[in-house]
Amino acid sequence: MSRMQIAAPAKINLNLRVLRRNEATGYHDLETWMVPITVADELRVELTETPGIVLTCSDPELDSGSGNLAWKAADLFLHETGHSGGARIELHKHIPHGAGLGGGSGDAAAVLKALNEQTGRKLGETQLLELAAELGSDVPFFMGGKGAMARGRGEILTGKPLPTPLDLLLLKPPFPVPTAWAYKRYAEMKASEAGMLPQESQWLGDVEITNDLEVPVFGKYLLLPVMKEWLCQQPGVESAFMTGSGSTMVAVIAPDAPTGCTEGLKQRIASEYGPTMWICKTGWGIGDGE
């Protein structure tokens, strides 16, 4: 069977509010506005007549077996459709893991879409979304690939494109933030006698920028609040915030920033924080605004 090549874009959370813990699901309900961005992983996916799933990944630090969401997506799809053969996946990573950018979830969504195409769309949209929700909270969002408000665990989606384009610079230090830990720490701080200070909001026109996970994450990963403050002081930077559970910080470049502003900022970041900082110039949505 022929291979299918597909891109799996990253996302950022423009805002993220953690609501009550849902005892039925065991997860915290949330409300978050997510938009896809132009940096993306690349996958080549094909059905095989030979049973079993073979996943190769360009990042040696990632699991190439059942611990990888792309592998899990293929396994779930094959089981659901009763396909007697297997699947082969080549995953070329451009999105760092543990970054709050949804790289693993996007990969899983891409595998579901690619395998469904190769089986002649054996599963309908509703069935695919159910599989996506089973795989992880962010996976349903990536099935649509457009800006959306996500509620519940992330599976309840309402389309919401970003009204204006954004030029972004992403910065990820050389450490991940475990998502489960971030939510657990949030709950612990919320339940403590001292409580937790409310997260301050920033505004980009009519877009509110806020992230409830910044307070608990910043309390442990002390470099991140330093980076945020430093970014906000840089010329041409309109806003800076952490996306998802981190550790990526997002700098929003002002629309009226002079030519060369972003390149100058990249050079200052490298000088200030050293060569281990992952820096990526990107922009908003694939599909939004079309």
pLDDT of residue 206: 82
pLDDT of residue 44: 97
Q: Are strands 52-57 and 86-92 parallel, antiparallel or unpaired?
A: parallel
**Strand pairing partners for 18?**
30
- Residues in the chain, pLDDT under 50: 286-290
Class for the domain spanning 167-283: alpha beta
- Confirm if 126 and 59 have CB atoms less than 8 A apart: no
Q: Which helix (H) or strand (E) holds 127?
A: helix 125-135
List the chain domain ranges: 4-159, 167-283
Q: Are strands 4-22 and 207-211 parallel, antiparallel or unpaired?
A: parallel
Q: What is the pTM of this model?
A: 0.91
pLDDT of residue 260: 87
pLDDT of residue 35: 94
Q: Give the integer Cα–Cα distance in Å for 208 and 270.
A: 29
- Confirm if 92 and 43 have CB atoms less than 8 A apart: yes
Tell me whether residue 11 is one of the annotated catalytic residues. yes
The one catalytic residue among 41, 107, 138, 212? 138
pLDDT tens, residue by residue, 2-55? 789 999 999 999 999 998 776 666 667 899 999 999 999 999 999 999 999 999
3-state secondary structure (DSSP) of residue 24? coil
- Confirm if 169 and 232 have CB atoms less than 8 A apart: no
Question: How many helices and strands (H and E) does the chain possess?
Answer: 8, 12
pLDDT of residue 199: 66
Q: Average per-residue pLDDT in the chain? A: 90
Name the CATH topology of 4-159. Answer: Ribosomal Protein S5; domain 2 (3.30.230)
